[in-house]
Amino acid sequence: MSDDVPALAFDDEGLLPVVAQDVDTGEVLMLAYVDEAALARTKETGRAHYYSRSRAELWEKGATSGHTQVVSEIRIDCDGDALLYLVDQTGGACHTGYETCFYRTIDGDEVAEKVFDPEDVYG
């Protein structure tokens, strides 16, 4: 590891934002958060793990839906306060059924494909 890699700068709640990006297409899939445990689990398993702020718990992407993320590489930004997961996404990344959480413009136009029905997956 290079000597110029900054220390991770978790926020006051012990979290870091993570952008998940498709390793093949470069498409930004989602933004989530990790705590130290989620990051350690991701590094250990090679599968994306995040920290759910709403449920206050660690979760593995795709554990319920089957729409998993295998992490090819983890990058750190220049300040150490954000991460980038380069992932191989299976299925949709968004719980609403779209391939990416960034599926609409600020004007409400849908610009991504819906790839599954959330009712079928989550009930």
Supply the pLDDT for residue 122: 83
**pLDDT exceeds 90 at position 27:** yes
Supply the pLDDT for residue 6: 78
Supply the pLDDT for residue 106: 96
Dump pLDDT digits (tens) for 72-117: 999 999 999 999 999 999 999 999 999 999 999 999 999 999 999 9
* Rounded Cα–Cα distance for residues 38 and 20 (Å): 14
**pLDDT exceeds 90 at position 3:** no
**pLDDT exceeds 70 at position 2:** no
Alpha-carbon separation of residue 25 from 13, 29, 84, 89, 120 (angstroms): 32, 10, 15, 11, 27
Dump pLDDT digits (tens) for 31-76: 999 999 999 999 999 999 999 999 999 999 999 899 999 999 999 9
Instruction: Note whether 97 and 91 are within 8 A (CB).
Output: no
User: Closest by alpha carbon to 20, among 11, 30, 5, 12?
Assistant: 30
Q: Kindly report the length of the chain.
A: 123
Supply the pLDDT for residue 68: 96
* Rounded Cα–Cα distance for residues 31 and 16 (Å): 10
